DNA sequence: AGCATTTCAGACTCTTTTATCTTAAAATAA
DNA sequence: TTATTTTAAGATAAAAGAGTCTGAAATGCT
């Protein structure tokens, strides 16, 4: 797995919050239920996200967590960085320590190109972009979420396309 | 880490054996010393490689392990498959179970393209290709291997290139 | 035959990751 | 103030991954 479970949970929680796009606080309880993640575990993960100024939290009734910035200003890589660290995107494919361009391993060239693309994929994607896609196409975020792809929309798109011929 | 440690060790051991390109058995002891990997641990890893017909082994004096096929016929992905399994190359980036094209996650398109490239990178590369590079440029395989890049060769190449102007 | 060498097989330990639980602290509302 | 809601913090437990150890089985050498 490229990303740790903790990181995945953090990303999915952030994605979920972005789809709500409301200014109120959301309780971790609600998020954990919606995404089917252990409440206590998610709590700890979101703690590190608030420590890293990606989210803000508020205690007491009507409290919870919220995104610290508009979702269009939060990039996937920030979340990954906070939880797993960005070394993932600069790591040697063979796990050799102290690796660099001076003593490259045989696959260095290709791997460097690929991991850079992956890194860019994470740094180019904002939460808003993901939330849009999720809302428009009704994509799933959770593993138990029963929400299938928006069948009606998909069908209409297909038909429209066919009629054009 | 994309590949597990066990897998990394297995790959490096195979690479090392390919650079020798000799028909005799090599003892696991020797490999473990050369690559600075725990002997017993490496033994277990290479056992699974022999189970998967990537290596052959022989017990007793003059025994050891050897590549089951010419190194040009062994592809990196075979080793990864034997130890970590190829699910790595078809895994959802968000770790959602039962993921597929019917209910794609927001990053599906891009990720599928990238992971396919990585998969191809592993299935296109043979041990012989790696061994050649290692031998020609004196690249390192081990983390304690003091062998730096072949400085003389590098220098001559640079100078030649410069003189062409 | 007896001995040294070497992989094989499996149990065992240590470490890291993942997950749970318990208590505290903060904020709010009544 | 007091009860309630909610995150904070940290201890603990379970699971997975990484690494170690021991004895057995096979093989070649003398
Ligand atoms: S030189 Fe090789 S081992 Fe080092 S980071 Fe590049 S690809 Fe990885
Ligand atoms: S649909 Fe999304 S989650 Fe599923 S495999 Fe593709 S990228 Fe991964």
DSSP per-residue codes, A97-111: TT--SSS--TTHHHH
CA of B98 to the centre of ligand 2 (A): 9
Which atom of ligand 2 lies at the shortest distance from residue B106's CA?
A: 2
d(CA A117, CA B125): 20
B36 CB contact with strand D at below 7 Å: no
Instruction: Phi first, then psi: give them for residue A47, nearest 5 degrees.
Output: -60, -45
pLDDT tens for each residue of A69-121 = 999 999 999 999 999 999 889 888 877 655 656 667 778 888 889 999 999 99
d(CA B148, CA B146): 6
Tell me what pLDDT residue B98 has: 57
d(CA B106, CA A129): 9
Tell me what pLDDT residue B165 has: 21
B158/C15 CA-to-C1' distance in Å: 46
H helical segments located in A21-107: 28-35, 39-51, 76-83
- Confidence band (pLDDT; 50, 70, 90) for B134? confident
Contacts of B142 in chain A (CB under 8 A): 96
- In chain B the domains, ranked by start, together with CATH numbers, are 5-164 (1.10.10.10)
Tell me what pLDDT residue A96 has: 67
Picking from A94, A107, A148 by the largest number of B CB atoms within 10 A of its own CB, the best residue to mutate is A94
- Confidence band (pLDDT; 50, 70, 90) for B158? very low
Q: Which residue spans within chain A are E strands per DSSP?
A: 55-58, 64-67
pLDDT at B63 over 80: yes
Beta carbons within 8 Å of A100's beta carbon, 6+ residues apart: none
Tell me what pLDDT residue B142 has: 60
Q: Identify which of B96, B75, B76, B4 has the alpha carbon closest to the alpha carbon of residue B45.
A: B4
- Cβ-in-10-Å burial (0-12, 13-18, 19+) of A152 comes to exposed
Tell me what pLDDT residue A152 has: 34
Which atom of ligand 2 lies at the shortest distance from residue B108's CA?
A: 7
pLDDT tens for each residue of B3-37 = 999 999 999 999 999 999 777 899 999 999 999 99
Task: Decide which of B89 and B138 is more confident.
Answer: B89
Look at A95 and B129 and tell me if their CB atoms are within 8 Å: no
For residue B87 the two structure tokens come to 């699910």
Tell me what pLDDT residue B18 has: 94
pLDDT at B87 over 60: yes
Which atom of ligand 2 lies at the shortest distance from residue B91's CA?
A: 5
A95 CB contact with strand D at below 7 Å: no
Q: Identify which of B42, B13, B36 has the alpha carbon closest to the alpha carbon of residue B127.
A: B13
Calculate the dihedral angle through the C-alpha atoms of B118, B131, A92, B146, rounding to the nearest 10 degrees: 180
Kindly list the protein residues whose Cβ atom lies closer than 6 A to any atom of ligand 1: A 92-94, 96, 99, 104-105, 107-108, 111-112
CA of B147 to the centre of ligand 2 (A): 41
Residue B95 has its nearest CB partner, among A5, A15, A107, at A5
- Confidence band (pLDDT; 50, 70, 90) for B97? low
Q: Searching chain A, which residue's CA lies closest to the CA of residue B148?
A: A103
What is the DSSP code (8-state) at residue B88? G
B97 CB contact with strand C at below 7 Å: no
Angle at A121 between CA A117 and CA A124, to 5 degrees: 125
Q: What does pLDDT average to over chain B?
A: 81
Question: CA-CA distances (angstroms) from residue A71 to A53, A142, B111?
Answer: 13, 19, 21
pLDDT at B143 over 70: no
Helix (H, G, I), strand (E, B) or coil at A33: helix
Nucleotide nearest to B47 (CA to C1'): C8
d(CA B63, CA A34): 58
Contacts of A121 in chain B (CB under 8 A): 107, 110-111, 114
Q: Which residue spans within B25-157 are E strands per DSSP?
A: 55-58, 64-67
Beta carbons within 8 Å of A70's beta carbon, 6+ residues apart: A128
Mean per-residue pLDDT, B78-82: 97
Nucleotides of C under 7 A from a protein CB: 4-11, 17-22, 25-29
| Share of residues in chain B with pLDDT > 70 (%) | 76
Nucleotide nearest to A48 (CA to C1'): D8
**Ligand 2 pocket: which of B104, B109, B110, B113 to mutate (most atoms <8 Å of CB)?**
B104
User: CB atoms < 10 A from the CB of B65, how many?
Assistant: 25
User: CB atoms < 10 A from the CB of B161, how many?
Assistant: 9
Helix (H, G, I), strand (E, B) or coil at A47: helix
């Amino acid at each position: 797995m490229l990303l740790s479970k903790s990181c995945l949970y953090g990303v999915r929680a952030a994605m979920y919050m972005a789809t709500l796009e409301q200014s109120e606080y959301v309780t971790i309880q609600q998020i954990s239920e919606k995404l089917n993640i252990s409440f206590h575990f998610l709590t700890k993960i979101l703690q590190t996200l608030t420590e890293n100024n990606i989210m803000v939290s508020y205690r007491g009734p009507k409290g919870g967590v919220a995104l610290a910035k508009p979702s269009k200003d939060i990039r996937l890589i920030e979340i990954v960085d906070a939880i797993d660290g960005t070394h993932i995107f600069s790591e040697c494919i063979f796990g050799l320590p102290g690796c660099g361009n001076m003593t490259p391993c045989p696959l260095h060239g290709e791997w460097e190109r690929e991991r850079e693309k992956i890194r860019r994929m994470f740094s180019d994607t904002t939460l808003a972009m993901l939330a849009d896609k999720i809302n428009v196409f009704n994509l799933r975020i959770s593993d138990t979420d029963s929400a299938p792809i928006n069948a009606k929309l998909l069908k209409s798109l297909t038909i429209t396309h066919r009629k054009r011929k």
